[in-house]
Amino acid sequence: KPDGFGIRHVQVVLIFLMLTVAYALRVNLSVAIVAMVDKNATNPEFEEFDWNESTKSVILSSFFWGYVVTQIPAGLLAKKLGAKLLTMIGMFVCSLLTLLTPIFAHIGGSSLVIALRVVQGLCQGVLFPSTHTLLSKWAPASERGRFGTYTYAGAQFGTVVMLIVSGVLAESSAGWPGIFYVSGGAGILWSILWFFFGSDSPSEDKRISPEEREFIESSLGTNHNSTKFTTPWLAILMSGPMWAVIIAHSCHNWGFWTLLTEMPTYMKNVLDLDIKKNALLSALPYFVFWIVSLIMSIVSDYLINNNFLSRLACRKIFNSIGLWGPMGALLGLAFVTKGNTELAVGLLTLAVGINAGQYLGFQVNHIDLSPNHAGFMMGITNCAANIMSIIAPLVVGFVLTDATDPIQWRIVFFISSGIYFFGGLMFNILAKSDIQSWNEPSTSKKTDEPVNNPDHPEAQY
């Protein structure tokens, strides 16, 4: 193993920053929309829009209408055209549209904002499949848990930063439009950095040392640079372990995006918090998530690499923590009375923070099952999962006829808890952690027959 900070670490940092900015571009509207419909809550000098709860729910979910469309094509394109080009184009266009959001809102109101968010979703739909494609080429097996967590932790870091900054910007002289200008500008800057320093694989990077390239490629144990593999559609879709990931990912997204898109509304209308304090407290759970994910990744890799637990046992344990932990917290939150602000914030923080376990569960399990097709698999699971991201805010909008009513919020929390439970249960029943036979370009083996990984014999169990 090469000493020091290598090119693989540079790629991890850049992907971390990509997901940081990507989630900032996603969640900026969650805080901004509070100010956009109530100018007295922040800087009153900016335009106000008359959008009811149903309209706001449609706006918040519209991002995912486009997002689900590009998931599966992105998994295929990332392998054929290169994940670097795909992510750079997606982020640049999404960032440019973010800069235009205030103008679009002024010209066309909710209809044009919805259309813009759909296109932004199309652009960001390429990011997660491309990230898995990049990780499958850059992350050695012994560092897979940590690298996967470090990169995807960018999502939480971006959420934290954007929620905090959004509250400050909304009350500043920049007003709510400043939220979009800052986040859009950050995306443009990242695209420039990625153009100069990003790379598709160790074999294509001219700066990497021979020792580091050999370490990565020998650890992966197969040629990941081939684009001639035929995608085994039927084998993947008939795989029980694949369905474990699809179900767990879908159930996670329902709960995660219900909380992410609706938490500022809950804090304003039920907990009576002003937007600046609202933004800070809304960011707290995602800061905890970020810290917990980093700790869990180190623990998981330590347990696996030192043979204390098999890879499969670790995946199931951390996935259960990540889905059933939030389930318990939301059940508790459902019975918190309106005056108990501290308890409500504590349970919300627990519900989101402990969700970090899913990074070491279903999230990295794509690469366990098939390094060669991990990007395509992420496209499938993320497509299915983000259908839940569309439905969840719409269900909340249907249930919440009065956003100040704690009883109606109780129903929202019950629904999310039940879905979290089902996702954790199905993963524990169906999940595997060995490389599946359809990872290789062969049709002579059974669909779920494992392929031995000589570097990690524990992965067979």
Q: pLDDT tens digits for 439-450?
A: 887 544 444 444
243 and 168 in a common domain: no
Residue 102 CB contacts under 8 Å (≥ 6 apart), including other chains: 176, 177, 180, 181
- pLDDT for residue 160 is more than 60: yes
271 and 194 in a common domain: no
Residue owning tokens 């900015």: 21
**Which H helix or E strand runs over 435?**
strand 435-436
- pLDDT for residue 239 is more than 90: yes
pLDDT at residue 461, rounded to an integer: 28
Domain stop point among 162, 187, 205 = 205
d(CA 197, CA 399): 47
245 and 195 in a common domain: no
pLDDT at residue 455, rounded to an integer: 41
Q: Could you give the C-alpha distances from 17 to 10, 203, 204, in angstroms and in order? A: 11, 23, 21
In angstroms, how far is CA 306 from the centroid of its own chain?
A: 29
Average pLDDT over every residue of 112-121: 95
Token pair in block for residue 335:
């019975």
- pLDDT for residue 456 is more than 90: no
273 and 340 in a common domain: yes
Within a 13 Å sphere around the CA of 5, how many CA atoms are in the beta-carbon half? 4
Residue 215 belongs to a domain: no
Residue 270 belongs to a domain: yes
pLDDT at residue 276, rounded to an integer: 58
Amino acid, res. 160: V
353 and 436 in a common domain: yes
Residue 451 belongs to a domain: no
d(CA 196, CA 209): 18
Total domains in the fold of the chain:
2
d(CA 212, CA 386): 36
Residue 459 belongs to a domain: no
> Domain of 77?
7-205
Domain stop point among 161, 190, 205 = 205
Average pLDDT over every residue of 59-69: 87
Asked if residues 133 and 74 have their Cβ atoms less than 8 Å apart, the reply is: no
d(CA 355, CA 159): 14
Backbone torsions φ then ψ of 68, nearest 5 degrees: -70, -25
193 and 65 in a common domain: yes
User: DSSP letter at 140?
Assistant: -
- pLDDT for residue 13 is more than 60: yes
pLDDT band at 457, cuts 50/70/90?
very low
Average pLDDT over every residue of 261-287: 72
d(CA 71, CA 79): 13
137 and 26 in a common domain: yes
Residue 100 belongs to a domain: yes
Residue 453 belongs to a domain: no
d(CA 406, CA 337): 7
Lowest mean pLDDT among 64-68, 133-137, 260-264: 260-264
Asked if residues 440 and 451 have their Cβ atoms less than 8 Å apart, the reply is: yes
Residue owning tokens 């160790």: 202
- The size of the chain, in residues, is 461
Average pLDDT over every residue of 12-40: 89
Strand partners, 325: none
Lowest mean pLDDT among 266-275, 414-423, 424-433: 266-275
Amino acid, res. 412: V
| DSSP letters for 253-307 | HHHHHHHHHHHHHHHHHTS---HHHHHHHHHHHHHHHHHHHHHHHHHHHHHHHTT
392 and 351 in a common domain: yes
259 and 189 in a common domain: no
Average pLDDT over every residue of 56-82: 86
259 and 367 in a common domain: yes
250 and 193 in a common domain: no
**Which H helix or E strand runs over 451?**
strand 450-451
Query: What's the mean pLDDT when you consider all of the chain?
Result: 85
pLDDT at residue 279, rounded to an integer: 64
pLDDT band at 277, cuts 50/70/90?
low
Closest to 364 in 3D by CA, of 323, 319, 404: 319
Residue 329 belongs to a domain: yes
**Which H helix or E strand runs over 17?**
helix 7-36
The CATH number assigned to the domain holding 287 equals 1.20.1250.20
Residue 113 belongs to a domain: yes
d(CA 290, CA 344): 20
pTM of the model as a whole: 0.76
Amino acid, res. 316: K
d(CA 190, CA 15): 10
pLDDT at residue 441, rounded to an integer: 74
289 and 196 in a common domain: no
